[in-house]
Structure 1
């Protein structure tokens, strides 16, 4: 008998909808992931010209610091090499003298042996350390005064030679350390300069022209600042002269006090100042020397005559005036008298940056002659082109 139940009808209901939704979302995610995987990696953004200039300036500054470290290490190495050489020469002379003293003791011992003297005396005379026998009175009593003196001289020379050998060994170790520092700082300078050149080499011709324009704008701002200083100093000098003339009119016969006061330091070389004619004469020689070097290239570690770094130029210029300056900016800044920027006189040294890593020769009107940086030559520039640390009058 057939069943009268109706068959159940299966219709797509709400249960299948989430499955479809999930499948679609999964496929979409896979497609997006696939596209991301195949897409080219994002390229880093190119630095702006301002950022390039800032980075290059920073690298040049770091190279300048490393150059001063190199100069210091080179100077120290040269001094230590001479010191070690002198010590080794001294040790060699002492060793020769020691051998002669030993030979003299040998003749005494041989003579005693031939005359049948006790062998202990001969042992004393030939011993490496005669002091070991000095407490034995019976042996010392058998030595003549000449023999005793020979033993004393030998012992003193032996001790002095040992001391000099120890000193030479210590200086050799110090020299090795300085030579390692020299190599390290040289590598550091070369690396900084190489990085700067690499940055500049990546610029297009148009970018290089724009960078030069930025540099020119910076130079112009520094020039205007220097000119303003010159105007202020000229006004101060004119005011000082007027006051001096008025004082002379009120008190005739008192004479001029020009050259005896503290002065205003016009920076032009015409003011009274406290530097006097002696300093002015030396400064003139310094500036004349620096002017003769104009156009010569900056080379780090160079002291002339064909190229200079900043402190190499200042050292050579003041040497022309008979004044010996140390090699590095860090030592040059300690020589002489520190004066204010407003009181700077031609010939003064102007130091830059908080780390005192650059120096130039002041020539008046807010300007200086200096060896700027790699790729540039000795030239005149405003002292305001870089942050001033201090001004020093070397003599």
Structure 2
């Protein structure tokens, strides 16, 4: 009789054990490398971390401006869709009223016209009265034809409005997909920057923040102060140096005054105020306070108004940076601007030579 016992398992030989262990360690190392958190990775110096974080912030801002553009388009499409739906509802109500009136007219004609004209004339006690009534019915028939044509026209209009609404809705959904994709890119870049900064000590992070250039210190008392000089020292102040804004016209002066009032408020990507801003949100809000409507994104704001050269800059001008036109600030004179730099850095004053200059425009 054949034995049904399981064959005895032999232990791994020494060489086999070493091979398996090597493969397991290699797999673990590979997984750790993909995770990007290996303690065995060479530690980046604070200077290298700053360079990488700066790169991530620039890429995040490019994605932020794409997000801003997609959101503006999405909001516009949503407003158009709402208007189309409202108009379709109003016209549907009028159509239903016209249909009810047409139904009443048809029922009346049916009741009065159940007998043929010859029979009604033959049976009428007063043929003259019948002829008068027949003329009235003929006119009523004309009105019925007009009512039918009106209902048909209104029905066509409602159908056209609904078709247009469906088309806008389809585009809106595509815009929302792009919006979500851009949002994910921004959040991914910012999360990567936070992970890098988390590797540093508090002192190292403070040095990196200081290396961003002169700007705003938020004191323990909540007041906002500006380190005016390029070296970061100088007299602290909460208002323009002369007590009033030097600008070529009142609207530019108002825009600059608004920007001064925003100093110290946090950078939040996608924000347009009043409590927080991203770079283009700040410049848009500043000029809006002066009664001038600017587009939402950096790459559209640069075409607002007219271009000016760097040598012709005046307070209130918009100054743009990087080859992708991904950052903007509000020029205040003296080679300086007020801008919203990036997450963790509030609205502040900085020199315009802090970043690669890409152009300038003067809103009008």
- Give the TM-score taking structure 2 as reference length: 0.72
Asked if residue 162 in structure 1 is aligned to residue 127 in structure 2, the reply is no
1:98-247 correspondence to structure 2 within 5 Å: 98-117=95-114, 144-205=141-202, 207-208=204-205, 211=208, 215=212, 223=230
Q: SS at 1:144's partner residue?
A: helix
What is the rounded CA distance, in whole Å, between the counterparts of 1:117 and 1:99 in structure 2? 27
Whole-angstrom distance in 1 between the partners of 2:115 and 2:363: 72
Residues 223 and 106 from structure 1, CA distance in 2 versus in 1: closer, same or farther, beyond 3 angstroms?
Answer: same
Instruction: Give distance in 2, aligned partners of 1:70 and 1:162.
Output: 34
| 1:174 CA drift (Å) | 1.5
Q: CA deviation at 1:210?
A: 5.8
In the alignment, does 2:74 pair up with 1:73? no
2:41 corresponds to which residue? 44
Question: 3-state DSSP class of the match of 2:329?
Answer: strand
CA RMSD of aligned residues (A): 3.0
Q: 1:142 to 1:57 in 2, by over 3 A?
A: same
Uncovered stretches (5+) of structure 2, i.e. residues with no partner:
1-14, 30-39, 117-137, 215-228, 232-244
Kept in 2, the 8 Å contact 1:223–1:384? The answer is: no
1:352 maps to which of 316, 321, 328: 321
Deviation per CA, 1:229-281: give whole Å up to 9, x if none.
Answer: xxxxxxxxxxxxxxxxxxxxxxxxxxxxxxxxxxxxxxxx98xxxxxx8x422
- TM-score between the two structures when normalised by the length of structure 1: 0.66
Given that 2:65 and 2:298 are in contact with CA atoms closer than 8 Å, whether structure 1 keeps it comes out as yes
Which structure has the bigger radius of gyration?
1
1:90 is matched with 87
How far is 1:183 from its partner? 2.2
- Could you tell me which residue of structure 2 aligns to residue 370 of structure 1? 339
> 1:374 aligns to what SS in structure 2?
coil
Counterpart-to-counterpart distance in 1, 2:55 and 2:322: 12
Q: Going by fraction, where is helix more abundant, 1 or 2? A: 1
| Separation in 2, partners of 1:113, 1:149 | 17
Contact 1:349 1:360 in 2 (8 A): yes
- Rounded to whole Å, the distance in 2 between the matches of 1:78 and 1:213 is 38
Measured in 2, the distance between the counterparts of 1:118 and 1:153 equals 28
Helix, strand or coil at the partner of 1:199: helix
1:171 deviates by: 1.0
1:334 — aligned with what? Answer: 303
The answer as to whether partners of 1:112 and 1:118 remain within 8 angstroms in 2 is: no
Q: Which stretch has the larger CA shift, 200-209 or 66-75?
A: 200-209
Q: Give structure 1 stretches of 5+ with no counterpart.
A: 1-29, 120-140, 225-268, 271-276
Aligned partners of 1:56, 1:319: CA distance in 2, in Å? 32
Give yes or no for contact 2:213–2:230 (8 Å, CA) kept in 1: no
In 1: Cα distance, 2:296 partner to 2:179 partner: 15
The answer on 1:379 being equivalent to 2:351 is no
Matches of 1:393 and 1:118, distance apart in 2: 81
Q: Which deviations, in whole Å up to 9, do the C-alpha atoms of 1:157-207 show, x marking residues without a partner?
A: 111111001001111111222222222222221111111010010123564
